[in-house]
Structure formats: structure tokens, C-alpha cells
Amino acid sequence: MQQPIDYLSPDVPRELPWHDVPLLVASDETIQGYGCLVDSADDFDIEIVQWPALGWRPIDAGTGDEGGVVEGIFHSEWRGQVLHANNDSVDGSYILGWSTNPGSADASAATGDPERVLLWHLNYHPDGGQLFYPLEGQPFVVPAALPGDDLGLDDIVAFWCDGSQGLYIHPGIWHEGVFPATRAQSFRDRQGRVHARVSCNVSQEFGVFLSVPLRPLTSSPG
């Protein structure tokens, strides 16, 4: 029987090579297929996927999608070189990643705003979409990949959002938590109540950590 993942003590090596994830500035064009940008979280509908039929008989119309939506605050905070998160919507606590290899990451280090986060894990929710809406209006980053269990490293991108809008992802989109481009931020989180989760331990499956930049490259003056 599969054991629950211990997100506060990730099963990862102390050190691995880094795979660079492309960082895209989120816009209506770049986010197409993954989700959309959201101006207001108050009146935005979260997609809920109907429970799948187990055989040839279909699910009755109007049933199997009645679990509804949960809402809470998603807190992301750097503690030294370790990125922690709490999702009040689903009562979850996580170590999302590190700013350097976990074997040398120091949770008590005095550091400025990190340049990157090293990820060990991605997941998707087959039952519903998810909305991250920034409460402080500061830039943030969300990694993503299009649906499909045969995930490849080259399928993974990350979206940089300027903080003026929220980011919504469709059901089935690979993602991780939301990463602040500052030391700490809070986000309004809305997602399906069932909260089914399909995971990929990237460090085990691919032998790398995903290196996700937290700010877009700027052109050199010239």
C-alpha cells in the first residue's frame, strides 16, 4: 500500500544536478492551455471535474461533481535557504524547495531575496482547478506542465506573475505551490474540495532538482 508523502521531510538526496526551467512572463497568450490570469477572486468559478465512470454505465447527470470548493490562505515563506508553505484550504504543510542543494541548505541563514527555488516535486489535481491570488500584490512564480502522466523535464515551464492579478490553473495541470519573489507572501487559495493529488518526485524519477528562477532576466544596458 502506498504511504502518504511526508512533505516536511522530503525523500531526496543531499545533492543532485540542476535542470533549468524556462521562466515565462504570464500573459493571456503564454498561459493559454494552462489556465488564465484572474482580476478578481470573488466571482471566479473553479472548474470541478465529474467523478469518472468505472464501467460502461455513465455517471448520472448532475451528480459526481457536488463536492464544491474550499478556500483559505496559502502562505509561502523563506526560512533561510528553505522555502516553507502552509495551505489552510486543505490543512497542508510543506517544504517546497531550497535555494541551494538541500544537503547544504541552512534554515537559519540570513539571506536576501532568493534568485531561484530548487524543486523536488510536482503534482496535479484531477478533480478540480486551483486559483492563487496574491494578497500583497507582489510578484510570484508558479511552475506548470500540461496534462499527462508521462511527464518529461522539457514539458515543465514556470510562470512569473507581476502580482497585479491572480493565476488560475485548470484541472490536471502539473504544478507545485506558489513561490514568492520576496521573502514571504500570502495568497488567497481556492480549489476543489476533494483535493485528489497525483505526484511526481522529480528527484527520484529524473535524478535532478528543478531550478526555477524567481525573477525574469533583464536585458543588459548597451
- Structure-block grid coordinates of residue 161: 506573475
Task: Answer yes or no: are the C-beta atoms of 116 and 188 closer than 8 Å.
Answer: no
Q: In whole numbers, what is the pLDDT of the chain averaged over residues?
A: 94
Q: pLDDT value at position 218?
A: 61
Dist CA 214 CA 222 (whole Å) = 24
Q: pLDDT value at position 1?
A: 66
Percent of the chain past pLDDT 90, that is, above it, reads 89
Break the chain into its structural domains and give their ranges. Answer: 18-44+70-213
Fill in the amino acid letter for 139: P
* Section 123-128 average pLDDT: 96
Q: pLDDT value at position 3?
A: 80
**27-75 pLDDT, tens digit each:** 999 999 999 999 999 989 999 999 999 999 999 999 999 989 999 999 9
Dist CA 120 CA 9 (whole Å) = 12
Residue 219 has pLDDT above 60, yes or no: no
Task: Give the up-direction half-sphere exposure of residue 212: CA atoms within 13 A in the CB hemisphere.
Answer: 32
The hierarchical CATH code for the domain 18-44+70-213 is 2.60.120.480
To the nearest 5 percent, what fractions of the chain are helix, strand and coil? 5, 40, 60
